[in-house]
Amino acid sequence: MPLLLDFILDHTVAISGAIVALYFILCALYQLCFSPLSDIPGPWYAAISDLWLTTHVLRLQQCRIIDSLFAKYGPVVRVGPNKVVFNDLPTTRNVYSILKFDKSTYYKSLLTNDNDHAMTTLPHASHVFRKKGYAPHYTPTSLAHFQPEIHQSALELVNILGGIVNGGAIDCLSFFRHFMADVVSASSFGYGIGALSRWAVGIEDPLVTAIGDFPKRGILRSAIPAWAWKFVCSIPNRRWRRLCDSDKIMSEFVNARVYERRLQMVSGAPEQSDRVALVQRLLRYYAEVSSDTASDRDIVSEHMGHLVGGCDTTSTTLSYLCWELSRRADVAGKLQAELDTVIHDCKTLPDIAILQNLPYLGAFVKEGLRLYSAAPSLLERVVPNSSAKTAIPEAFDLMGYALPPGTLVATQAWSAHRNPSVFPSPESFLPERWLETGDNQGQLEAMNRHMMPFGTGSRVCGGQNLAQMALRIAITAIARNFDVVSPPETTETSMEMRDSFVIFPASMTCHLIFNPRKIR
């Protein structure tokens, strides 16, 4: 017995290592051979650990790698010990629209003000409560009342671009983010914040920078342990600290706006009944449904979510659309010819009702949303426990595979928008594919069914109407007044898409030149 004890003590490290190794071997064996998901095709190394997929998340290439797995393994692929992705339209409807699965905890990485907002609220029922507060604001009728402010920002954009000396290149990602900050703040708070004006005189707007940093902050928080996140935020580097503080910067700004509006409402200041800013609408809503003073925190969080969702995404798509104008003279010419028929004064812009009826403008924007949807990544949902309420059996049937409760399932717009059987030459920017020709109605219907640039189902982006309006107005103002040119540094390589839930160019910039157009 003493000899055995001495042996164990002398070989503690080796024995401990052997036990750990045996544990991991048994876990891998279970995942590969005995897990309920073991029959689902996919890379064997993805089945035993989330590490493989996490490396692609950190490399900002998750969308592409998932799409390549569909090409190799088919429409259902296992990409983790408990995660299955799919690329199938009927299943997408079933999961997101009919059964309305709850979101996964991944979305908690996008908390604002350390609190939930509509996007990070996981249960479907709780999301419905939040959505009722803001949904009326984003109807076309409601948004039409804010069109003068959007026109004003678009014309300011034109004046700034027209005043750039010697055709200098500008970073569109930053420029359009400032434009969208003015647009979203006008809708949210009733007035623009002057972000474009500050950009024009070279003043960095900390709020706009924070909006751009927040998605990157979220993906980093979701991919690394809590201790590693704390370490990152302790690094004595100004840029890192600013990224870590992006949530705090936005929170302080929105808190001030909510406090300001509450004082106006309490003081009895006159309000327009037909032009209700989002902050006013949310304050009224939460006052009606809750007497809890903590509701202000929900209002602040909701606004922060709308700032990020509205500014960063739309500005990225707008940048890619302008890049297409710079390298596609044929497309730019057709768009400009159409706009010339409805715009006769460079100091005014047509009503959105007119722009929505321009076929080529609509096709141009739609093709941009197909290829450059700003949020084309996995939309994770959780297979629920069976109950009479959900009418889901003990295992969820995903295209012939039985998934137990708790399994993560997801689809992505990136793959839906690049289905070659629906979108011939899927990587080519072809606005003409969306134009009615008399004999392509069936193809148009199929393409529309596969489009999900703002998500899909009951959790679709609430602000999509504002984004669509801003894109049409901004593109109209730019294409009507400028010829867009790419400088040498803006190439296919620099503009290659990276994704961290939202997309952005590999170079993190989009430099373009806007030459004033000679209009006859």
Cα torsion 470, 472, 473, 476: sign: positive
How far is 245 from 240, CA to CA, in rounded Å?
9
- Per 3-state DSSP, the chain is made up of helix, strand and coil in percentages (nearest 5) of 60, 10, 30
Cβ-based burial of 492 (10 A; exposed 0-12, middle 13-18, buried ≥19):
exposed
Strand, coil or helix: 512: strand
Locate 62 and state its tokens. 């998750």
DSSP string covering 135-176, please?
A: GGGGSHHHHHTTHHHHHHHHHHHHHHHHT-GGG--EEHHHHH
How far is 430 from 265, CA to CA, in rounded Å?
49
- Which residue shows structure tokens 């474009």? 196
11 DSSP assignment: T
Q: Check if the beta carbon of residue 82 is closer than 8 Å to that of residue 37.
A: yes
How far is 471 from 140, CA to CA, in rounded Å?
14
What residues form DSSP beta bridges with 505? Answer: 497
Is 461 one of the annotated binding-site residues? Answer: yes
- The Cβ of residue 299 has, within 10 Å, a number of other Cβ atoms equal to 25
Locate 495 and state its tokens. 């503009």
194 DSSP assignment: -
Locate all alpha helices (DSSP H) within 267-349, ordered by sequence. Answer: 278-289, 295-327, 329-340
DSSP string covering 217-257, please?
A: HHHHHHHS-HHHHHHHHHS--HHHHHHHTHHHHHHHHHHHH
If phi > 0 it is left, if psi is from -120 to 50 it is alpha, else beta; for residue 45 that is: alpha
- The Cβ of residue 376 has, within 10 Å, a number of other Cβ atoms equal to 27
Q: What SS3 string covers 431-460? A: HHHHCCCCCCHHHHHHHHHHCCECECHHHC
Strand ranges in 34-190 using DSSP code E only, listed in sequence order:
76-80, 83-86, 102-103, 170-171
Q: Which residues are annotated as a binding site for heme?
A: 461
Q: Which residues are annotated as a binding site?
A: 461
